[in-house]
Structures are given as C-alpha cells and as structure tokens.
Chains A and B, each alone.
Chain A
Amino acid sequence: MNSLLATVDPLYNHGVTWAVVLIVVIRVVAAFAVLMGSVIIMIWFERKAISDMQSRIGPQRWGPFGLLQTLADGAKLFFKEDLIPAGANRLVFKLAPYLVLIPALITFAIVPVGGTLHIAGHPVLLQVANPPVGILLMLAMSGISVYGVMLAGWASGSKYPLMSSVRASAQMISYEAALGMTIVTIILVTGSLSTHDIVISQGQGIWHWNLIRLGIVPFVVFIIAITAELNRPPFDVVEADSELVGGFHTEYSSLRFALFYLAEFMNTITMSAMMVTLFLGGPAGWVPNVAHLRWLFPIAWFVVKTVGFAFAYVWFRAALPRFRYDQVMDLGWKRLIPLSLGWMIVVAGFLVAPAWGFAMAAVVLVAWILLTRAFELGYTRERGVDSPLPVVGERPLPGEVLRAITDREAQ
C-alpha cells in the first residue's frame, strides 16, 4: 500500500519546479486536444452507427465517409444568430452552458489513460492529475453539471425547458445515490480513492478486474446509473423530443447550444473511460515484449475498451425505447439504491471474513423480502385492492384498461 501511495501527483509534493509545471501544462493541453478530437470522432461514429442500425447512410458529404460532418456542423453553429428569449434570466442563461462544459472537461483529468512514463527523470502518470480525492472528483463534478442543466432550463423562461430542468434535477440526484454506493464498493476493495491506485490494484490479470472481483452486480448498477446521469437514451426523459420539444436547451442556439452538445458527447466519452477505469482495469492488458514501444500497448488497450463502451451507448440509443418518467424514478429509488446498498454491505462483510460475508448476505436477503412486502403493501394501500388500475408498468396499461371500459360501454 505504501508503494501505491508513493506515486502521488508531483503537484501535491511541495517544491514545485519549472519542469514539473511544464509537464503539467503539456498534459493539460494534450488531454484537451485528445478530448476534443475524440468528441469529433464520437459524434461522427454515433451518427454513422445509428444510421447503419436504422438502414440509412448517414453523413457522407464532407470528407471521406462524412468524417468532417462534425466540423461542418460546428462552423454552421458558429455563424448562427445567438438568441436570448425575452423572458430569460440573462445572467443565468449565459452562465449555464459553462456549468455543463467545465465539469465535463475536469472529469477527464482523473482518467488514467496509460501506465507511467519516465521523461527526463520525472515519472509522468498518463493522466492530467492524480488528486488524493480521486474518484470523488467525478461525483463532485457530476453534482455540479446538474446545475448547468437545471439553470439552463429555468433561465430560458419557457415552459418545456422548465419541466425538463425539474426532471433533470430529480433524475440526476436520484441516480447519484446508486452511483455513489457502487463506487464505495470499489473503494472498499482498493483501499484508496485515487484512480491510479484503482487501476493498479486491478493490474494482475483479468480475474482481478473489479468487474469480476466484485461480482457483476455493481457493474450493472453502475452502467445503468451512469447512463441516467448522462441523460442518454433510454434515460433521456430530460430532452425527450416527443414530449418536451428539445428539453432544457430548447431556447439555446448558436455557440451556446454547441457548448451543450459538446459537453454531452464529452461526458459520454469520459464516462466510457471511467467505466473502463473502475471495472475493466483501465490500461491493463497483454503487453508484448517490444523494445521502446511497451508504453504504447496500455494506451491501445485503454482505447479499445473505451470504444467498446462508446459503441454500447450508441447501441442503447438505437435499440431501447425511452423510459417513462415514473419508471425512471421507480428503477432508481426502489431497485438500484436498495440493490447497490445491499451489495455494498455483502462486499464489506466478505472483506472482513467469509463468515461475516455470509451473515451479511443473510441479513440483506431478509431485508430484501421485507422491502418487497412493503412495496406490495404500499401499492395496494395507495390504489385499493379492487382498483381497475394495475401496478405501474405492468400490463394491461392504464390506457388499455380505459379502452376496454369504453369499448364495453359502447356495446
């Protein structure tokens, strides 16, 4: 554990020299360039993949395979008129896009992209920063980006964006709890908050990846919760275009809209990278013994895994229908939070001793039975035993019941 803690970020050691500052500046610029470049590719990739799944061609005009379509869109947005609605709260309206963009940029800073390099005698971690709070920075930043979405919707001074911002705040807060508890299980196993340590502790092979080491459950909870945090389909009730026009950014145009768009795709990439970091060992993988190129393979592994998750997000969007708002809340509060809490307790038990682990599993099982019974009682008490309306989400749906009643009356 001490060897892990020894590789702290040089910024946190006292006695900062110009070399250290230069390395930090280079890392920041490089990370920014990589993120921007990957956003351009990600937008193209998403549009191309979605069109393939929907039997369309997709972007094709600009550049080979339509690769420059994103740049063309960017140039168009840049020259569009920037509108601020008359009923808008001008200060907050202008502030909101940055509150989404800046957390998206900062979160990428803690993702370990590769192993440790040695440049001119300085050990260089291939991540912008390795702060002691580590993974908590991600939670903090996702907490801040809620404000961007919320205030954008509110400051527009328009009905649909306001509804969207109320939905956004409720949804993101609800899923943050489940997200936090799965992260706690990872921290328990690692014994450190730092993303660098989390990656190192998974480095001894595929059986040490958190995906397998913690059981599959935390990973499943995490991927669902993070999709909800990102407001991506199937959890995009916040910008549901069939209900809310465009959601919180309905009233935004030109560059301000581009910032929201940019932040959304940046977050998608960062969260794919974060899942790789937390559950798939980050840059861990098979490294062949090639002279001078050994450092390249961890980066390649990292990119391959991240692209896998990025594709999964596109796939979700093409394949899954959007959740209803009440289903989103139901899944978050009644299923994911109890599940992640129970799993965390069991993992903590097994970390102390197997006997404790099984005891905790028994406790969680009893709690689960009680909770199921409580939900059942709650439903019957709320709706009445002989209510014609069924439990939410079960067939027949309320609309079908009404249809049956009107049909019966018509006869």
Chain B
Amino acid sequence: MIAIAYGWPDVLVFATAALLIVVGALGVIATRHPVHAALSLIMTLFGVAVAFVAQSADFLAAVEIIVYAGAIVVLFLFVIMFLGVDRDEGTRIEPLVGQRTLAALGAVITVAGLITLMARSHWVTGATSVSTAGVPLAHGSGNVRQLGTAVFTTYLFAFEATAALLIIAVVGAVVLARREQRRDAEDEATSSPSDAPTDLEGSER
C-alpha cells in the first residue's frame, strides 16, 4: 500500500535510511564502548542525511554531514581519546542518584507528546497544515536560496539569538577553563593541595 503511494525506489531509500538511523541509535545506547557508541552515532547521522536527500533537502544533508559528522562527533572522539575514557564502562552503578528515573520519565513525556502531535496535526513540524505560500518547494541549488531567505528574513531573530547563545557558551567555557588553570597555579605556589574540593570541581564541569 505504501509502495502504491510512493513508488518502490522511494520505499527502498526510506527503508535503508530508517534502518541506518534506528540501528545506529540503538548502537549508541547499547554498545558499552564509548568509541563504538560514537561510531554508531555517525551511522545515525548518515541515515538522517540520506533521508534529507530523499526529501530533496540536499543542502541540509550536506550540512548534516559537514557539521555533525565532520565536526561535532570528531570533537566527541577527541575528548574521549584525550581524557582516556576509551574503555568499557560498567553500567550497573548510577553516578547521579535518580538519574534513571528522571530519564525514563522524560522519555515517556516525549513519546506522549509526539503521539499527541501525530494525532492532532502534521507530525513533523507540529503545524496543522503545510503551505509554502504559493512558492513551490525548491530542488537542488534552490535549497540554499530558499533557506537563506527564510533564515535572514522570517527567522532572523531566532537565528541571531542562536548565534549570541553559541558565543556566550564559548566565552563561558573559556572563562571556566582559564579560572581552573589559575587556581591550579596558585595551589602549586602555596603547595597545599587538598583532595576534597577537586571532586566537586570535576562535577561542576
């Protein structure tokens, strides 16, 4: 029935993308090894990119690979390797008490919200109807123009707010990192290292 509505090639592409996404996502939470989990995440991102291409959103697909697979997960791996946490982790101990209960609660709320959205409106965007105000959806290179126009006119405030947020996050991270260093230097100078507060500092980060 699905094949009648969309044609076999589309269904095949969707099935491949969905398989990549779901298997990758399960791999992220099921593998015990942090590096393998990161690799599964890359697989999910590739699946999402394939799904974007199938929807004629070529530009988004490229950006997905460049930004998420090409930069963000590389940074994850960088941190994993640099901090030397690249070994199997025991999942029996719960480091933050109550974390799992809260996570389960959050998952239930999210799924309930999604189901409500699907039942009441368009299930991806939450909009009750989709209209492009008479403009046909762009294919290929038109993607960039359409996205650019939307981001720099209709959604300019959200765009600029995101930019400001990212800058604040970067500056905050730099300030925190440098403060730590200075305190270390002072500790060395007075040569009275105390083990108790280091634990707290670690969790703050």
Residue numbers of A with Cβ under 8 A of B are: 5, 8, 12, 89, 91-92, 131-134, 136-137, 139-140, 142-144, 146-147, 150-151, 154, 162, 165-166, 169-170, 172-173, 176, 180, 192-194, 197
Contact = CB atoms under 8 A, between A and B. Distances in A.
A285 B81 CA distance: 49
Contacts of A8: 140
Contact of A139 (B35, B36, B66, B86): B66
Contacts of B35: 89, 92, 151, 154
B7 to A, nearest CB: 10
B24 to A, nearest CB: 14
B141 A192 contact: yes
Contacts of B140: 5, 8, 12, 132
Contacts of B86: 154
Interface residues of B, number: 26
Contact of B81 (A5, A136, A166, A197): A166
Interface string B36-80: 100100100000000000000011011101100111001101100
A136 B62 contact: yes
Contact of A169 (B36, B74, B139): B74
B141 A132 contact: yes
A170 B78 CA distance: 8
B186 to A, nearest CB: 15
A143 B71 contact: yes
A5 B141 contact: yes
A140 B66 contact: yes
B87 to A, nearest CB: 10
Given A12-B140, A132-B139, A139 B81 contact: no
Nearest to B75: A173
Given A142-B70, A192-B141, 14 more contacts: A12-B139, A92-B39, A132-B58, A132-B59, A133-B59, A133-B62, A136-B59, A140-B69, A140-B70, A147-B42, A170-B78, A172-B74, A193-B141, A197-B141
Contacts of A170: 78
Contacts of B78: 150, 166, 169-170
B82 interface: yes
Contacts of A131: 58
Contacts of A154: 35, 77, 81, 86
Among A91, A92, A132, A143, max chain B CB count under 10 A is at A132
Interface string B16-50: 00000000000000000001100100100000000
Interface of B: 35-36, 39, 42, 58-59, 61-63, 65-66, 69-71, 74-75, 77-78, 81-82, 86, 139-141, 143-144
A143 B81 contact: no
20 contacts: A132-B140, A132-B141, A132-B143, A133-B58, A133-B59, A136-B66, A139-B66, A140-B70, A143-B69, A143-B71, A147-B74, A150-B74, A151-B77, A154-B77, A162-B81, A166-B78, A172-B74, A173-B75, A176-B70, A193-B141
A146 B62 contact: no
Nearest to A146: B74
Closest 3 CB pairs of A and B: A143-B70, A132-B140, A136-B62
Contacts of B81: 150, 154, 162, 165-166, 169
Contacts of A144: 65, 69-70
Nearest to B145: A191
A406 B129 CA distance: 78
A140 B65 contact: yes
Given A143-B71, A193-B141, A150 B77 contact: yes
A258 B157 CA distance: 52
Nearest to B81: A154
A345 B69 CA distance: 27
Nearest to A193: B141
Contacts of A193: 59, 141, 144
A169 to B, nearest CB: 5
Nearest to B9: A16
Contacts of A162: 81
A351 to B, nearest CB: 14
A177 to B, nearest CB: 9
Nearest to B49: A140
A151 B78 CA distance: 10
Contacts of B75: 173
A96 B139 CA distance: 35
Contacts of A91: 36
A150 B71 CA distance: 13
A368 B172 CA distance: 23
A356 to B, nearest CB: 16
Nearest to B86: A154
A98 to B, nearest CB: 13
Contacts of A143: 65-66, 69-71, 74
B141 to A, nearest CB: 5
A294 B175 CA distance: 62
A2 to B, nearest CB: 11
Nearest to B67: A143
A200 B154 CA distance: 33
Nearest to A197: B141
B139 to A, nearest CB: 7
A134 B71 CA distance: 19
Contacts of A194: 141
Contacts of B39: 92, 151
A139 B139 CA distance: 21
Contacts of A92: 35-36, 39
Contacts of A166: 78, 81-82
